[in-house]
Amino acid sequence: MTNQQQSPVLSVEGLVKDYPGVRAVDDVSFSIERSTVHCLIGENGAGKSTLIKMLTGALQPTHGTMKVNGSVYQPNNTHEARGHGIATLFQELHVVDELSVLENLTLGMEVSRFGFFIKSDLEDRVIQTLKAIEPSIDPSARVSSLSVAQKQIIEIARAASSGANVIIMDEPTAALSEREVDRLFGVIRRLQETGVTVIYISHKLDEILNLGDTVTVMRDGKHIITKPLSEVSGRAELIELMIGRSAFQTHTPRTKISDEILLKAENLTNDLLKDVSFHIHKGEIVGFYGLVGAGKTEIARALFGADQVAGSISFKGQKVGRSPKHAIEAGIALVPEERRTQGLFTNLTIRENIPVMNLRNLSDYGIFRSADEVAAAIEYVDKLSIATDSIEKHTEKLSGGNQQKVVLAKCLFSDADLLLLDEPTRGVDVGAKTEIYDIIKDLADEGNSVAIFSSELEEVLGICDRIFLLYSGSLEEEFINSPDVDVSHILNVVTGGHEGAVL
């Protein structure tokens, strides 16, 4: 056996990634053996995505060493990572529907000379790779005619035929049916037989237990453990390793919640959501908690009218859900997950951003009151403690936490009675998180209702009065928040290990 065959296919030693005020990956060390399925798990925010971005060259480590086949590995970009045999399959598919399977398999790998493609053995090689992985797919078929699972297999075959000996799969089954998941697992096992190593990232713990050889658990940016899955006793042990603590921020029960139902949703259904029903009281903070693919964002967008769904939504006794314009006029505002692309006009100033959802409030007979716009901006910069030296600063120049506060200010200025917050503190520092939580509590105490859609368990347990647990588009359980909630049970439900019942 050669030294290369004896050494781990991939290893990290003392890996650190720092951002201003945040250490996303903290002194992580472990190794991955070749021809295995190595699973990577942890709660949202555990550092998994940052680690993978360093492995694939998308980010550079602050400190530490990475090695491939025993040799130091320092990719500056994803292209260099591929040159070292490391490829990544993301949740979003990267295939061209208008091309054939064969054209997709060779895309970007064509051999050319003086600007002209020349004949090579590339086509024969990729066809043989596809046959070895999934012989039922016709190389001449148009990709648009294939299922999501088959399109994923095209990406896997393209990676394997490019010489990748490590393929990273990030939540590969999020959009697959149970039958398609079984097919994908068969493909992964055939990859192992050809000497390919798979790094498999998933929140679905049953998949980890059924498919993996080894598991690495991360928590709060740190490496907790790497061990063979044959030595793991089951879901309960994995959950315990992921949580690592029994105490979360203590929730203080609130007493100002009205019995009045402000919003009622019944039987919401679309491609992901499955017959989801719930209600929200006036002055209540509710949380929708789930992991990737659970349906949190889809529910938020449905309530805001951004996505059409079957079922009904009533707000203050009136039907809503036709469009965002209709929702805003009714008194519903959404702080979207992607604040930079969906929540802000980053090329505009703070002053220009804050009033955009309620410009009528600053106009008289079509005449815009500029002085009132300035006064509103100053008021909300002060009210939300937005750190800036001027209301004329462009929002693209603000920190993530202050950008989020500007989005909140927009929604507050719209005079919304129901505020929908999709991942409200993602990418903001601890200090900004605390300030945003205080703002949310103050809003609820003033009689506003707030719905938080979050993949951070500590967040929903720390601030929400009532919590809905989601898994794969279904509302599995509902419970009143209290200091003695069973955290392990919650994790079990949202990772698919429990047929929940609404309490």
Q: What is the rounded CA–CA span in Å between residue 321 and residue 273?
A: 15
Around 277, how many Cα atoms within 13 Å sit in the side-chain half-sphere?
A: 7
Contact in structure between 105 and 160 (CB atoms under 8 Å)? no
Q: What is the pLDDT of residue 51?
A: 94
What's the gap between Cα 311 and its chain centre? 26
Q: What is the rounded CA–CA span in Å between residue 117 and residue 134?
A: 28
Contact in structure between 407 and 343 (CB atoms under 8 Å)? yes
Contact in structure between 477 and 460 (CB atoms under 8 Å)? no
Contact in structure between 465 and 264 (CB atoms under 8 Å)? no
Token pair belonging to 430: 């601890």
Looking at residue 429, the DSSP 8-state letter turns out to be: -
Note the helical H segments in 113-234.
122-133, 148-161, 178-193, 205-211
Q: What is the pLDDT of residue 91?
A: 63
* Spatial CA neighbour of 292 closest among 443, 409, 454: 454
Contact in structure between 477 and 502 (CB atoms under 8 Å)? yes
Longest dimension (CA), the chain: 84
Cross-strand pairs, 41? 217
Place of tokens 């798979």: 198
Q: What is the pLDDT of residue 501?
A: 45
Handedness of CA 388, 389, 394, 397 (dihedral sign): negative
**Amino acid code (one letter) for 361:** N
Token pair belonging to 235: 């879901």
In sequence order, the 6+-apart residues with CB closer than 8 A to the CB of 73 are 10, 66, 67, 84
Contact in structure between 45 and 454 (CB atoms under 8 Å)? no
Torsion of CA 393, 398, 401, 402, to 10 degrees: -10
DSSP secondary structure of 329-347: HHTEEEE-S-IIIII--TT
Contact in structure between 86 and 56 (CB atoms under 8 Å)? yes
Token pair belonging to 28: 């992580």
Q: Which domains does the chain have, with CATH numbers?
A: 3-243 (3.40.50.300), 261-494 (3.40.50.300)
E strands, 20-115, in order: 22-32, 37-41, 63-68, 71-72, 86-89, 112-113
Binned average pLDDT, 10 residues per bin, the chain of 503 residues: 69 92 89 95 82 93 95 92 87 79 76 50 78 83 84 82 86 73 86 91 87 93 95 87 62 77 95 94 94 87 92 93 87 80 79 77 73 82 81 82 81 84 73 77 89 89 94 93 87 77 43
What pTM was estimated for this model as a whole?
0.65
**Amino acid code (one letter) for 251:** H
Between CA 156 and CA 167, with CA 162 as vertex, the angle to 5 degrees is 45
- β 214-219/37-41 pair status: parallel
Note the helical H segments in 230-359.
235-243, 296-303, 324-330, 350-353
Q: What is the pLDDT of residue 249?
A: 54
